[in-house]
Amino acid sequence: MPEQKEKIQVHCGECKRHTNHTVLTQREVNAHPEDDFHWGEIHYFCQCAGCNCYCYAIAEFSEDDWNSYTREMDYRWKTYPRSKGERLPIDDVYELPNKVRVIYQEILGAVNAQLPVLTAIGLRALIEAICKEQIVIATNLEKRIDGLATNGVLSQAQAKILHGHRFLGNVAAHEIESAKPKELIAALEIAEAMLKTIYILPGLSNQIRTGK
């Protein structure tokens, strides 16, 4: 009888969900034993048991990922092609001004490539681009964000949220310190809500004629 091959459950880009995959081969990479910080990667080349498509999956882990409750490692997974967590652009992305859209799309590329420092810097640059496009003139980014609220482009509450993005980008740019993935995804979703508020929702509102 042929040897029973290991199976793992990962996201399948074709099935668009987690499925069982037969592991065809795997390799593990670990930090040097004398390194201060311990990390590792398990690389899998596997085949979906549902659609038979091939998949390359990476399970990343470090000493910070040990779950003391389950007493297991909380792996961070990346799958190719098409990771489950891959961020797609918002609908009507081409309604955004060109420079704003280019920066936003580069942020998505950094997020999907798992480049946290570049993502944070990009979020700050996105705020700068929005302020410039809205012709808010001030001596620094903090005052430009306040200007968005003063001009009625954003509410005071939204401006306060954008200030948080500004500090996120400052830390990334000047201290080369990356935020946690959950923080960056939350910041990205807030930024996308801002983009919709400023550039997309007004156009959708103009399409509503009933009751006017």
DSSP assignments along the chain, one per residue: -PPPPPEEEEEETTTTEEEEEEEEEEEEEE--TT-SS-EEEEEEEEEETTT--EEEEEEEEEGGGEETTTTEE--EEEEESS-TT---PPTTGGGS-HHHHHHHHHHHHHHHTT-HHHHHHHHHHHHHHHHHHTT---SSHHHHHHHHHHTTSS-HHHHHHHHHHHHHHHHHHHH--PPPHHHHHHHHHHHHHHHIIIIIHHHHHHT--TT-
Segment 4-9 shows an average pLDDT of 79
Threshold 0.75, pTM exceeds: no
Quick one: 48 and 142 in the same domain?
no
Residue 211 located in a structural domain: no
Contacts of 190 (CB under 8 A, 6+ apart): 161, 165
Residues 97 and 41 in one domain: no
Q: What is the CATH number of the domain that holds 141?
A: 1.20.120
- Among residues of the chain, what percentage have pLDDT more than 70? 84
Domain count, the chain: 2
- Domain termination site, one of 80, 113, 133: 80
Question: Which pLDDT value is given to residue 2?
Answer: 40
Same domain for 75 and 99, yes or no, is no
pLDDT digits (tens, 9 = 90+) for 82-127: 665 678 888 888 889 999 999 999 998 888 877 888 888 888 888 8
d(CA 95, CA 61): 39
Tokens for 188, please give them.
């990205």
In a domain, 86, yes or no: no
Of 48, 80, 112, which residue is a domain's last? 80
Q: Per-residue pLDDT averaged across 153-182, rounded?
A: 66
175-185 tens-digit pLDDT: 555 667 777 88
Is the confidence at residue 171, as pLDDT, over 80? no
Query: How confident is the prediction for the chain on average, in pLDDT?
Result: 81
- Domain assignment present for residue 85? The answer is no
Are 109 and 177 in the same domain? Answer: yes
Quote the domain boundaries for residue 131.
Answer: 93-206
Domain final residue, candidates 45, 80, 115: 80
Q: Which of the residue ranges 105-109, 159-163, 189-193 would you say has the lowest mean pLDDT?
A: 159-163
pLDDT over threshold 60, residue 168: no
Position 201 in a domain: yes
- The answer to whether residues 122 and 195 belong to one domain is yes
180: nearest Cα among 171, 67, 44: 171
Query: Is the same domain home to 51 and 16?
Result: yes
Q: Is residue 202 part of a domain?
A: yes
Q: Which residues contact 49 (CB under 8 A, 6 or more apart)?
A: 7, 19, 20, 21, 22
Res 121: pLDDT: 86
